[in-house]
Structure 1
Amino acid sequence: MAERLQGIFTPNLVPLDSKGDINEEVLRKYVDWLIEKGVHGLYPNGSTGEFTRFTFEERKRIVSIIADQTRGRVPILAGAAEANVKETLKACEYYAELGVRAVAIVAPFYYKLGPEAVFAYFREIGRNTPVDVTLYNIPMFASPIDVPTVQRLADECERITAIKDSSGELPHMIRMIQAVRPNRPDFAFLTGWDAALMPMILVGCDGGTNASSGVVPEITRKLYDLTLAGKLDDARKIQYDLVTLFDTMLYSAEFPDGFREAVKLRGFDMGHGRQPRSEHQEQDLSILRRTLQCSLADHGFTQEPIGGCPVGEGSADETADVRNIVMTVVSELQKKGML
C-alpha cells in the first residue's frame, strides 16, 4: 500500500508566451524553483492552473512537461477533470503512463447533481482508473461532495485514496476525517483553502494544495513545518501573514490573475492569461501589482521596486492599503450574498 499524500502540493500556474501558447522554458524553470524552495509535490491542471482554459491536448502536455522536468524528485498530483467519465478515464490512463502519484478529479460541473449522482460518477471512475484518485470538492464551482458520499466511496473503491477540499469549512473537514479514517487509515485529506491551512492541519489534515505556495513556497512550507512541530505561536504569525497575502491575491482581481501577477514579482514571465481583460481590469491589476510588490518586499521576497517599499521596510500605509482592499472586496461579496 502506497503512503498517503502529505505536505504542500503546489497548484501550478501556467506561463504563456506572446502568442498565448504554453511557455515551456519558463514552466520548466518554475518547476525547478518550486522544488528548490521546498514544496512537497506539484499539482498541475487545478483551478489555479486554469485547466478549463486549455484544450485536452494542452492539459496533457502541461503534465508531460512537469513530469519530465520533475524527474521523480517530488510526487505529482495531476488534475484529470474532464467533462465526462470517458474523457476523464482517458486522462487517468495517460497520466498513469507518465508516472504521476495520483490524479485529482473534480465533481461533475455545470450540471448541479445530487449526492447519488456524484457517488455514481466517482464510483465509475474509481472502478476503472489505473491510478489513485483524489476527490476534489469545490462546491463554489461544481456539485458538492458530502460526507456520506466520501465515506461510501472510500469504503467501496480502493483506488480512491484522498480528498482535496476547497470549501474552507473546518467542521466539514473534521466530519470527513471522523467518518473515513477509522476504516481507511491510508486515506489522505488535503485542504485547498490557504487561509485555514494551520487549523486544518491541527485537526488532522495531511497538507494542502495551496495557491499561495506557487508565489511564496517558502512561507507555505514553513507554516506546514512549524504547525507539525507544535511551534504554534510562530506558526500563527505566519498564518496571519499568509491570510493577508492570500486575500489580496484572491479578491483584488479575477482569479487567478492576482496570483499570476504575484509570481511575476518573483521573477517569472507568466505572460497574459487566456481570459481577455477590459481596460478597467488592467488598471486594477496595475494597482494590485504595486500592492503585492510592497507586501512581498516587506517579507524580503522581491528587489526594491521603483518608487519605494525597500526590502524589509514595507510601510504602514501599504499594510493599511492591503487591509482596506481586502475589507472592501469582502464587503462587496457579502452584499452580493457570495460570502
Structure 2
Amino acid sequence: MAASPSRLSGIFTPNIVPLDTHGDIHEAELRRYVDWLIEKGVHGLYPNGSTGEFLRFTVEERRRIIAIIADQTRGRVPILAGAAEANVKETLKACEAYHEMGCRAVAIVSPFYYKLSPSAVYAYFKEIGDNTPIDVTLYNIPMFASPIDVPTVRRLAEECPRVVAIKDSSGDLPHMMRMISAVRPVRPDFSFMTGWDAALMPMLLIGCDGGTNATSGVVPEITRRLYDLTLLGRIDEARDLQYRLLTLFDAMIQNCEFPEGFRAALALRGFKPGSGRQPQSPSQKLEVEILRKELQCLLSAEGFVNEPVGGCPAGQTSANPDDVARIVAGVVEELRRLGLAT
C-alpha cells in the first residue's frame, strides 16, 4: 500500500471532548470548539489522544467523536485520528473506520499495560503497517506505554510505506535528533511531530515538522504564532513566546490531574467542557478551583480574559525556579520508578 504524498506538518490540536451534565459527549459544543480552533489557525486536529481521554470512552463513542469532528471540519484541515485500541484486530478496525470518514492519518500508541521488548513493539506496528488502509503515525509516550526506540522507528519507516510519521511525547531532544538522523536519509517524506509543548521551539529548530500540542486547544493563537516565528527564524520573539507558553503549560499539566487543568483553562476561554469522566476526590476538586484563578491570571496577562476578582498577585505570570526544579525532580523520579532513566 502506497503512502499518501502530503506530509504531516504544523500544529495539530489534541482536542478536549466537551461533556454535558450527564457525562455524555456534548456534540453542539464539540462542533463549536472545532470551528473555533480552525478559525484560530491550527493546521490540523488530533482527536482521541491523551488530552481527549480516549481510554475513558467506549469504542462506539470514539468512533462518534471522529465522525462529529470529520463532519464539522468538512475537509478544512486534516484530521489525525487516535486509533489505539487494545489489540491489533480492533486497531485495524479503527483504521478502516477512520479511513472511511476521510481522516488524513491515524496515530497509534505502542501497546500499553504489558511492557514489551523492542522486537515485540516492531512486530505490533509491522502487522498494522502492512494491513492498514490509512497512513499511520507512531505515537511514542514512554511514561504510559512501551517505548519505541530509534532502530524500531527506522526499520518500520524502511519496511512500511504506510508508516509515515512519529509523534514523540517524551520531550527528549537528543532522542528526537537521533530519530531524525536515522530516518530522514531513508525516508525523506517521514514526519516528526513533538507532543511536548515545553520544547516546541527547540524541537522545530532541530528539524521537527510540527507538534501535537495540548496548549493549542486552549491558546491556539500562541502555539500557532510560536510555530510561525520559529520557522521564520525570528528566534528572539519565538524564545520569548516559548517561555510564556511554558509557564501556562506547566500550570495546566502539573497542578492537578491531567487533563483537568486544560479543561479548566478551556472554560475560561468561553467554552463548556464539563468535567472529565474520571471521578475526583474533594481535594482534587479543590486543586482545580485553586488552579482556575492562577490560569485566569496567566490568560489575562496574554489578553484573553479579564483578571479574576481581586486581581492577580505581582509576579503571577513568572515561572518560579523552585517550582521548575521540583517539577524536573518529580519527572526524573517517575522515570526512574518506571525504569526509563538511571
TM range (shorter): over 0.9
Please tell me whether the aligned partners of residues 244 and 323 of structure 1 are also in contact (alpha carbons under 8 angstroms). Answer: no
Change (3 A) 1:322 1:213: farther
Equivalences for residues 187-336 of structure 1 within 5 A = 187-309=190-312, 315-319=313-317, 328-332=326-330
In structure 2, the partner of 1:178 is 181
In structure 1, the partner of 2:72 is 69
Change (3 A) 1:284 1:321: farther
| Alpha-carbon distance between aligned partners in 1 of 2:325 and 2:289, rounded to the nearest angstrom | 19
Deviation of residue 333 (structure 1)? 5.0
**Do residues 155 (structure 1) and 158 (structure 2) align?**
yes
Please tell me whether the aligned partners of residues 291 and 322 of structure 1 are also in contact (alpha carbons under 8 angstroms). Answer: no
For normalisation by structure 2, the TM-score amounts to 0.94
Deviation of residue 316 (structure 1)? 2.2
Please tell me whether the aligned partners of residues 79 and 103 of structure 1 are also in contact (alpha carbons under 8 angstroms). Answer: yes
**Do residues 99 (structure 1) and 102 (structure 2) align?**
yes
| Alpha-carbon distance between aligned partners in 2 of 1:177 and 1:331, rounded to the nearest angstrom | 28
Match of 2:84 among 81, 84, 93: 81
Change (3 A) 1:280 1:85: same
The unaligned stretches of length 5 or more in structure 2 are: none
Please tell me whether the aligned partners of residues 291 and 321 of structure 1 are also in contact (alpha carbons under 8 angstroms). Answer: no
| Alpha-carbon distance between aligned partners in 1 of 2:327 and 2:176, rounded to the nearest angstrom | 26
Please tell me whether the aligned partners of residues 252 and 326 of structure 1 are also in contact (alpha carbons under 8 angstroms). Answer: no
Please tell me whether the aligned partners of residues 301 and 317 of structure 2 are also in contact (alpha carbons under 8 angstroms). Answer: no
In structure 1, the partner of 2:57 is 54
Deviation of residue 328 (structure 1)? 4.8
In structure 2, the partner of 1:312 is none
Provide, for residues 77-125 of structure 1, a one-character-per-residue CA deviation record: whole Å limited to 9, x for no partner: 0000000000000000000000000000000000000010000000000
Provide, for residues 196-227 of structure 1, a one-character-per-residue CA deviation record: whole Å limited to 9, x for no partner: 00000001000000000001000000000000
Deviation of residue 317 (structure 1)? 3.9
Q: State the secondary structure of the residue aligned to 1:110.
A: coil
**Do residues 110 (structure 1) and 120 (structure 2) align?**
no
| Alpha-carbon distance between aligned partners in 1 of 2:328 and 2:283, rounded to the nearest angstrom | 20
| Alpha-carbon distance between aligned partners in 2 of 1:202 and 1:187, rounded to the nearest angstrom | 17
The residue identity in structure 1 corresponding to 2:155 is: R
For normalisation by structure 1, the TM-score amounts to 0.95
Please tell me whether the aligned partners of residues 251 and 330 of structure 1 are also in contact (alpha carbons under 8 angstroms). Answer: no
The unaligned stretches of length 5 or more in structure 1 are: 310-314
| Alpha-carbon distance between aligned partners in 1 of 2:22 and 2:322, rounded to the nearest angstrom | 36
Deviation of residue 335 (structure 1)? 5.9
| Alpha-carbon distance between aligned partners in 2 of 1:219 and 1:319, rounded to the nearest angstrom | 15
After superposition, the CA RMSD in angstroms is 1.6
Change (3 A) 1:331 1:167: closer
Change (3 A) 1:180 1:320: closer
Please tell me whether the aligned partners of residues 110 and 146 of structure 2 are also in contact (alpha carbons under 8 angstroms). Answer: yes
Please tell me whether the aligned partners of residues 164 and 190 of structure 1 are also in contact (alpha carbons under 8 angstroms). Answer: yes
Q: State the secondary structure of the residue aligned to 1:316.
A: coil
In structure 2, the partner of 1:168 is 171
